[in-house]
Amino acid sequence: MDCSVQGAKDKLLTALGNQTPTPEQSYSVVVQEGEGIKRIKANAENAIAMRALGEKRTEGNSLAGYTMLEIVRMLMHAHGQNLAGLDKMGVVAAAFTHSSGDFATVLGNIANKSMLKGYSEATEVFPQFTATGNLSDFKIATRTDLGTFPSLRQVAPGAEFKYVSIGERAETAALATYGEMFSINCQAIINDDLGAFTRIPQKIGPRRRTHRWRPGV
């Protein structure tokens, strides 16, 4: 009864505050458009490449160690997408149907890195017996090459050296398009199966070295 009006007001606000339930912790991320989204995509790509390809961690990458499904959630939340009520399959499906296509782009970059890794690890012997050239279209082109140098002849003492003749040979070459497609299902992402989309592209890499023009072969 001796409490002042201001004191009563303070006590009332304190009592109401104590009765307010603590909000549940939510999974969310707030980023700015533009550079913020680009940073998360770069971190996501580096996080997957660290685990799949042994790539070094970029400085300040907060997504290092995240599973693919966790990365999907981060990318979707970065675009303000509400994932409430979606199961794992629904989250992955939403990621591939979202207009930004961020996760698909990240996976595509990882697959490309895997293919280049396989390409660089493959032994290449073509430069030992081929030459590099350019073709401007898909028409059949003719390439002229000198023949092999003949075996050296023995020169008797006091005899003169003789000239040799080197013939020519021609081979045809043409540009062609080679390619295959492979798919990755949602289960591979939910199971965090990194090998599903790194092993296949890595095996494609050496094939890129075999589809080249080889004169006389």
d(CA 208, CA 99): 32
Helices 102-121 and 35-53: angle between axes, nearest 10 degrees: 40
The parent domain of residue 65 ranges over 27-148+165-217
Query: Which helix or strand (DSSP H or E) is residue 141 part of?
Result: strand 141-146
d(CA 113, CA 60): 22
pLDDT tens-digit profile of 38-75? 899 999 999 999 998 889 999 999 999 999 999 999 99
Neighbours of 11 (CB within 10 A): 11
d(CA 89, CA 69): 10
Residue 153 within any structural domain of the chain = no
pLDDT tens-digit profile of 148-157? 777 888 999 9
Residue 9 within any structural domain of the chain = no
The first and second tokens of residue 93, run together, are 């499906």
Residue 20 within any structural domain of the chain = no
Q: Are 46 and 61 in contact (CB under 8 A)?
A: yes
Total domains present in the chain: 1
Residue 39 within any structural domain of the chain = yes
DSSP sequence for 147-195: -PPPPPPP--TTPPP------EEEEEE------------HHHHHTT-GG
pTM score above 0.75: no
Q: Give me the pLDDT at residue 59, please.
A: 92
Residue 21 within any structural domain of the chain = no
At 143 the three-state DSSP class reads: strand
Residue 16 within any structural domain of the chain = no
Residue 157 within any structural domain of the chain = no
Residue 8 within any structural domain of the chain = no
